[in-house]
């Protein structure tokens, strides 16, 4: 059911990518990973009708799901590698 949300979520404005992972050893362990361009895009998604489906699925789970939001405050490229190698 969660996999069905992947493509529609990817089509939302600001969505960089969306993945659903299921643990190989525990079929009840599912990870939904979404990457958003901005906090504003994420907030819009959380307020969306589609995200209400995610919340409804979590409410029906036999074990209370764990939700975590990880944010990145800064992204860098090769300059990090160059700076580290100069030390």
70-74's contacts with Cβ under 8 Å and 24+ in sequence apart are 71/39
Give 10-residue mean pLDDT values along the chain (87 residues).
85 94 89 91 92 87 84 83 85
Alpha-helical runs (H) found in 25-77: 39-46, 49-59
With H, G, I as helix, E, B as strand and everything else as coil, classify residue 12: coil
CATH architecture of 2-86: 2-Layer Sandwich (3.30)
pTM: 0.74
Closest by CA to 30, choosing from 62, 52, 8, 70, is 62
* Domain ranges across the chain: 2-86
């Amino acid at each position: 059911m969660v996999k069905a949300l992947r493509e529609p979520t990817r089509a939302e404005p600001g969505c960089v990518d969306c993945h659903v992972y299921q643990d190989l050893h525990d079929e009840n362990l599912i990870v939904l990973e979404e990457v958003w361009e901005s906090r504003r895009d994420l907030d819009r998604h959380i307020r969306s009708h589609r995200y209400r489906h995610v919340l409804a699925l979590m409410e029906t789970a036999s074990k209370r799901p764990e939700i975590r939001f990880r944010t990145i405050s800064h992204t860098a490229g090769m300059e990090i590698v160059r700076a580290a190698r100069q030390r």
